[in-house]
Amino acid sequence: MLSRRTVFAGFAAATVLASNRAVVAATPPKVRNVVLVHGAYADGSSWSEVIPLLQQAGLNVTAVQNPLMSLEDDCNYTRRALALQDGPTVLVAHSYGGEVITETGVDSKVTALVYCAARGPDANEDYTALAKKFPAPPASAGLIHANGFLRLSEEAFLRDFAGDVDPAKARALYAVQAPVADTLFAAKVTKAAWREKPSFYAVSSNDRTINPDLQRFMAKRMRAETIEIPASHLAIVSHPQEIAGLILKAAGAGAA
């Protein structure tokens, strides 16, 4: 006889499977390639919850590993990833990675841009000055400067960066956060790909790292198709279904 725990576990597994299938079937993709660009205080593993969902949909997924030493270097890493794609590609970013896809998204292979709680500056715009028009997010107080690099304190990372992520997972992500050059955020993008490419934006409404109202402003300015997720800055980890669904929608809207 099956125990109540066994029945519940089976039901939960079936629910997750059905949910995954729902994401995969939501929008038949026309574009088969996706390049994911991570943000600051993170590395490519921050996409680990989203990648399997995209692969289940039959997409070819590449996650860039940004060195986070300069905007120019990060853009070059993404350009190399785009050069390896065999056709039309959706370019996706989280957080600071939005600057990278804003600059590199003009590539002829890119059919759409997806911003996940991400920066979306205009060409030659001072993003820091733009951000100061909105209340400072709590994570700013948790930055640690040392030897020319920035990182988030453990307290700020767990509370303000990954506030709705399972604590064990959040600590693992904290352990792999990449150091960020002090000068990284001083650079400006020279192009704004969102002015010419279809754009999509996932606003994290409980974000304590990038002000949600700033996210809404950027999404509205780029006329992006926008969703709101009741999530921390790491919705890509805590709400992968919604993020994958938006990426699939962008892929479904691309060129055949």
Higher pLDDT, 6 or 199: 199
Q: Is the pLDDT of residue 7 over 60?
A: no
Contacts of 9 by beta carbon, 8 Å cutoff, 6+ apart: none
**pLDDT given at position 10:** 41
| Burial environment of residue 83 by CB neighbours within 10 A (0 to 12, 13 to 18, 19 or more) | exposed
At 5, the pLDDT band (50, 70, 90 cuts) reads very low
User: pLDDT class for 249, splitting at 50, 70, 90?
Assistant: very high
User: Phi then psi for 99, rounded to 5 degrees?
Assistant: -65, -40
- Whether residue 256 has pLDDT greater than 70: no
Give the span between the Cα atoms of 6 and 48, in whole angstroms. 28
Q: Which two tokens stand for residue 252?
A: 């479904």
Mean pLDDT of 47-59: 97
At 150-175, the pLDDT tens digits run 999 999 999 999 999 999 999 999 99
Which of 12-26, 165-179, 202-216, 242-256 is predicted with the least confidence, judged by mean pLDDT?
Answer: 12-26
Amino acid at 122: D
Q: Is the pLDDT of residue 21 over 50?
A: no
> CA-to-CA distance for 106 and 29, rounded, in angstroms?
21
Q: What is the pLDDT of residue 117?
A: 98
Selected residue with higher pLDDT from 19 and 201:
201
Residue of 88, 105, 80, 97 lying closest to 199 (CA atoms): 105
End-to-end CA distance of the chain: 52
- Read off the pLDDT band of 23 (50, 70, 90): low
User: What is the structure's pLDDT at 255?
Assistant: 54
* pLDDT single digits (tens) 175-196: 999 899 999 999 999 999 999 9
Weakest mean pLDDT among 5-14, 86-95, 190-199, 241-250: 5-14
Q: What is the pLDDT of residue 18?
A: 42
**The pLDDT value given to residue 28:** 65
What's the pLDDT at 3?
Answer: 42
Q: Listing from the earlier edge strand, what are the strands of the sheet with 33-37? A: 60-64, 33-37, 89-94, 110-116, 199-204, 225-229
DSSP conformation class of 109? T
Q: What sign for the dihedral angle of Cα 140, 143, 145, 151?
A: negative
Of the pLDDT bands very low, low, confident and very high (cuts 50, 70, 90), residue 8 is very low
User: What pLDDT score was predicted for residue 29?
Assistant: 76
Beta strands in 48-142 (DSSP E): 60-64, 89-94, 110-116
Whether the per-residue pLDDT at 16 is higher than 80: the answer is: no
Domains of the chain: 4-252 (3.40.50.1820)
